[in-house]
Amino acid sequence: MTKPICDTRPAHPSLQDTPWWKGASIYQVYPRSFADSNGDGIGDLAGITARLEHIASLGVDALWLSPFFPSPMKDFGYDVADYCNVDPIFGTLADFDALIARAHDLGLKVLIDQVFSHSSDQHPWFVDSRSSKASAHADWYVWADAKSDGSPPTNWQSVFGGPAWTWDARRGQYYMHNFLKEQPQLNVHNPKVQQALLDVLGFWLDRGVDGFRMDAVNFAMHDPELRDNPPAPLTDKPRTRPFDFQLKLYNQSHPDIPGFVERMRALIDSHGDKFTVAEVGGDDAEREMKLFTAGGTRFDSAYGFDFLYAEKLTPQMVADALLSWPDTPGTGWPSWAFENHDAPRALSRWVDAEHRDAFAGMKMLLLVALRGNIFLYQGEELGLPQVDIPFERLQDPEAITNWPLTLSRDGARTPMPWRHSANDLGFGSGDPWLPFGEDHAALSVDVQARDPHSLLNLVRAALQLRKTHRALATGSVAILHCDAQLLAFERVGQGQRIVAIFNMQAGDARWPEDVPTTGEVLIAVNDAAPGALPGHGALLFVPD
């Protein structure tokens, strides 16, 4: 017997009534790349609406739309120029309303992104703010005088590279930006700014949205005293940009953020049974995720980064992530994703091409077995690998700045393959904004829909299992076994007990003595069965 190396503390099941979102499966749509209805090479809201039946067929509970608001697209929608409208490349507000109505008809909830730490430099608020120190919006953004030598007010660095300050001759001051210089930092300390952002939430709630993903929440407020960040201690983690050289104590994560979170939550709750999930990244993410979801008066959940940038999937990593969110009073609810629009495709990070198909099935059973909400990124249900985008076709400003990166964000944002035989893979008739993946046609929706043994049909079966066995969605979790190759845990709740076991390597594994060997198999991949675990074998079963 291999000695377990993971903590096996159980997390106790909650006795509270379960809202719709707890344990939900959520499908992320990146609108530019999902479906193009008008042939301009860019996906749009009407294209999404036309493909909603595919999303519903997976068995997910909701979809999350990445930004579709008016934007100069310097960061592809995460630079918002109007929080209460639709960019013409994506359609109109009427198209959005039609999408909401169709999704609800299909039993799907709809979440949208909100980007409240910064706006576009083309937003009317910023245009007015930079015009004069006496303008109506003068203090709606973070402005500061130069130091006596003309240098920026602090040593803060931008996530995308270079100082987090840009000089503006019109005001004769620097303005702050944690990301691109075209994404000026909102002064969310200002009560008028907070109220304006609350009004934005109200606008979309009135249009029928079912919740929000809150982008970069821990960047929402800065240190008004403008203190310099201290240097970060040396670690084994590589430093690829100036941002990595500092402890981010003062440019983000201000202690007043939770107070604004509570104001947002109170407004959202006044509109019924909605869902909020926070994006919280960085070196102190776990503490902040729990801070922003504590006590039932803040966000419902936080979107974990544990797996999104990991170069390898290991049993220890998964066990640590699960046990970091015990079901104790006052602790929030986790959300997990293996892929998204900002991270390279998992199958290109975690496994070689030879074992990709087998690994994809194991990976999917693992995702549906996790305690918490689970997010699938468009194309993940097809097992899409990362696309190698040549430099001359790159669109992502981060990838261009830091080229040559091995795996850029663009490589996970390529158009969705719908039809194998079509020249445009069913995405749309125009030249797509990013190239298709050369190996994506063979993985298209129509090909996999016809194959009963495809990953797509496995995803549908696995998500249906999560719906019908509530222990998988909301039950407790306890680690039964963990070593360098195997992970086994049990999910218990509502009178159900399910054992899940995963072989994360390509070689056969000996069944661990501390895991039951008999029971009713609910789902299995790669010839796994109680007592037998071939390479990348995985199964969920009810033990005798």
Same CATH topology for 25-119+190-464 and 475-543: the answer is no
How would CATH label the architecture of 475-543?
Sandwich (2.60)
- DSSP element (H, E) containing 464: helix 455-468
C-alpha angle 223-260-374 in degrees, rounded to nearest 5: 105
Active site residues: 215, 279
Q: What pLDDT is recorded for position 329?
A: 84
Distance CA 270, CA 14 (A): 24
Report the 10 Å Cβ neighbour count for 407. 19
Side chain identity, residue 82: D
* Regions in the chain scoring below 70 on pLDDT: 1-16, 405-407
Distance CA 58, CA 77 (A): 27
Distance CA 352, CA 357 (A): 10
SS3 of 123-167: the string is: CHHHHHHHHCCCCCCCCCECEECCCCCCCCCCCCECCCCCECEEE
128-137 own/partner pairs: CB under 8 Å, 24+ apart? 129/184, 130/168, 130/170, 130/171, 130/175, 131/170, 131/171, 132/170, 132/171, 133/171, 133/173
Distance CA 419, CA 278 (A): 35
Sign of the four-CA dihedral 242, 243, 246, 250: positive
Angle between helices 356-369 and 455-468 (to 10 degrees): 10
User: Which residues, 6+ apart, have CB-to-CB distance to 383 below 8 Å?
Assistant: 347, 356, 357, 360, 443, 455
Distance CA 181, CA 79 (A): 10
490-495 own/partner pairs: CB under 8 Å, 24+ apart? 491/369, 491/371, 492/13, 493/13, 494/470
Closest to 207 (Cα-Cα) out of 274, 264, 261: 274
Distance CA 482, CA 471 (A): 21
Q: How far is CA 471 from each of CA 478, 479, 499, rounded to the nearest angstrom?
A: 12, 15, 10
Residue identified by tokens 């999917």 is: 364
Pairing of strands 333-337, 373-377: parallel
Sign of the four-CA dihedral 301, 302, 306, 310: positive
Order of strands, sheet of 143-144, starting from the edge strand that comes earlier in the sequence: 143-144, 173-176, 165-168
Q: Which two tokens stand for residue 78?
A: 């995460």
Indicate the burial class of 241 (C-beta count within 10 angstroms; 0-12, 13-18, 19 or more). Answer: middle
Domain at 25-119+190-464, CATH class: alpha beta
Q: What is the pLDDT of residues 283-328, one digit of tens each?
A: 899 999 999 999 889 999 998 899 999 999 999 999 999 999 998 8
Q: Which two tokens stand for residue 142?
A: 């973070």
Domain ranges of the chain: 25-119+190-464, 475-543
Q: Which two tokens stand for residue 364?
A: 């999917």
Distance CA 246, CA 262 (A): 29
DSSP code, position 231: B
Distance CA 536, CA 533 (A): 8
| Preceding peptide of 334 cis, ω within 30° | no
